[in-house]
Structure 1
Amino acid sequence: MQVDTLTKRLLFNTVRVDTVLEDGTHGSGTGFVVAHHGPHGQRRFIVTNRHLVEGVRSGGLVFTQAHEGQPQIGTRFELEIEEFPHAWFLDPNSDIDLAIVPMAPLERAAKEQGVQLYHHDIDTALVPDPTTLKAFDALEEVLFVGYPNGVWDHVNLLPILRRGTTATPPGMDFEGKAEFLIDAAVYPGSSGSPVFLYRQEGGSARGAARAPLYFLGVIAAVFYREEENQLVAGPVPANQNSTLVRQSEMIDLGLVIKSSAVVALIEEYCRRWRE
């Protein structure tokens, strides 16, 4: 496969996060590579949810290998991370379900084993500014990438692309937080999936926000119906056999942390540490 289109590149933005939970069960989720240009140059990070890395016994990240700059489709490299939960920088605000780890040491570790990692970055330049966010309509089509219910093309090592729509205006803060809702099939394993506003034709009816792709945020939770007429939002569990999933009904409303929170977390990390 030639990685020669925008959506094909999205297939290589994500990495699969495989974990062993404290109770010995196996979990999976989604991480993705972000590039950020700051005062000290460009730095890359893997972004996921903090609930995927906290309280985990061990974990690893699954990449496609590269050869001469091209993907070796189906050639797997799983990078096991020692003391997995402690490798991640968690958002200082415990209410924000985000965690990041710098790419540089991961790439060095792979190189020491003779492996090049193939990935495409999500540049933070794709994060819409406040003016652009306000120009979006209340109902916009979104695309997200990940490993729902642990499903992926394990032969070719490719994630699943899914579509949905915004369920609350992305330019507003749902319940006063830097979040919004999407109407989409969000399942265990979708935690950490990047969410994009994607327009094949570009443009908008209001004459603003004309880029074909914007990075809107990160899936962090899904709404469940626990009892009649009672809805609650909970983290998308890494374990697809979760009791929460079996005993509750998901209603296809996902909660997305806005991409501005990802930028803020990366900038906080860069203020504290330099490579």
Structure 2
Amino acid sequence: MSWSVDTPHKRLLYHTLRVDTVLQDGTSGTGTAFTLAHTHARGRSLFVVTNRHLVEGVASGALVFAIARDGQPVLGSRFELRIEDFPEAWMLHPDETVDLAIMPLQPLLDAARAQGVELYWQAIDTQQALTEEHAPALDALEDVLFVGYPSGVWDQVNGMPILRRGITATPPALDFEGRREFLIDAAVYPGSSGSPVFIARPGPQGGASFWFAGVVAAVFFREEAQRLVPQPVPASHTQVASSAEMIDLGLVIKASAVQELVHVYLSRWHA
């Protein structure tokens, strides 16, 4: 079958990487990471971004990429890059309340190339990030798309993540509870952690185009006492308490916090 990544919606499928982890208790976990490009005065830097709760305290971990041939992905291909000292490979957001982690992408590309493999990926450009300048133009209710591996589900034959839809549950222009976050009304499950979230914007000549709005980080649970609490989206179903029920409200860390983490990384390592 001929397959070319030649539309904005197809490109969404290749922004993400599958994160496979073994937790300290020996259980397996699955999450989502995504590739990010940032242009600055010294050039262009490439990163992998995910949630800090997906990397902290993990015994071992790997990132799963598609393989490239002639500039296009090979359908069904996947290349697992196991990373030694997985938690130490990431830089965490300096604010412990911000559930984000970042690492440079280039060393991963070099490691694969050393094994004779070219990886395929499509980076989200930080110029696509929804900013405080653009957010007020959005309505309180907007359609959202997010991409990842809910409950570990993916198309294993074709090596594809899962695209999901939802709507904003709080206005993206506002900071939910005073934090750089907003809520989405969507089915967020274990494995959705780290999924990039997009809001459609008018494209040239009416074509599809997207704002990068943020990163899925938590889901609201109803506990036995009927109290609603936001908790990090677990990497494994075994981490969900049997007395807790997810209510399809996801918490999204705004793209501005991702940009901030990029700037902190660059200031520390490229000063």
Work out which of the residue numbers 108, 128, 142 in structure 1 matches 2:110: 108
Q: Cα offset for 1:228?
A: 4.2
1:235 alignment counterpart: 232
- Where structure 1 has 5 or more consecutive residues not aligned to the other structure, the ranges are 204-209
Identity of aligned residues (%): 60
Q: Cα offset for 1:3?
A: 1.0
* TM-score (norm. length: structure 2): 0.95
CA distance in 2, matches of 1:10, 1:92: 28
Deviations 1:130-170 (A, max 9, x none): 22101110000000000000000011110000000000000
Q: Cα offset for 1:85?
A: 0.3
1:220 alignment counterpart: 217
1:200–1:128 distance in 2 versus 1, CA, 3 Å: closer
* 2:260 paired with 1:264: yes
Aligned amino acid, residue 76 of structure 1: R
CA distance in 2, matches of 1:200, 1:272: 36
2:73 alignment counterpart: 71
Is this contact kept in 1: 2:23–2:29, CA < 8 A?
A: yes
CA distance in 2, matches of 1:225, 1:169: 22
Is this contact kept in 2: 1:30–1:147, CA < 8 A?
A: yes
Provide the alpha-carbon RMSD of the alignment: 1.7
Work out which of the residue numbers 146, 157, 160 in structure 2 matches 1:158: 160
* TM-score (norm. length: structure 1): 0.94
Aligned amino acid, residue 169 of structure 1: P
CA distance in 1, matches of 2:253, 2:204: 24
Deviations 1:169-224 (A, max 9, x none): 00000000000000000000000000000257789xxxxxx983100000000000
Which segment drifts farther, 234-243 or 43-52? 234-243
1:127 alignment counterpart: 129
CA distance in 2, matches of 1:131, 1:42: 23
Q: Cα offset for 1:229?
A: 3.0
CA distance in 2, matches of 1:127, 1:211: 16
Is this contact kept in 1: 2:92–2:102, CA < 8 A?
A: yes
Is this contact kept in 1: 2:109–2:118, CA < 8 A?
A: yes
Is this contact kept in 2: 1:150–1:240, CA < 8 A?
A: no
2:86 alignment counterpart: 84
Is this contact kept in 1: 2:8–2:208, CA < 8 A?
A: no
1:207 alignment counterpart: none
Q: Cα offset for 1:254?
A: 0.3
Q: Cα offset for 1:113?
A: 0.5
Is this contact kept in 1: 2:149–2:191, CA < 8 A?
A: yes
- Where structure 2 has 5 or more consecutive residues not aligned to the other structure, the ranges are none
CA distance in 2, matches of 1:9, 1:220: 22
Q: Cα offset for 1:240?
A: 2.1
Is this contact kept in 1: 2:8–2:209, CA < 8 A?
A: no
2:34 alignment counterpart: 32
Aligned amino acid, residue 36 of structure 2: V
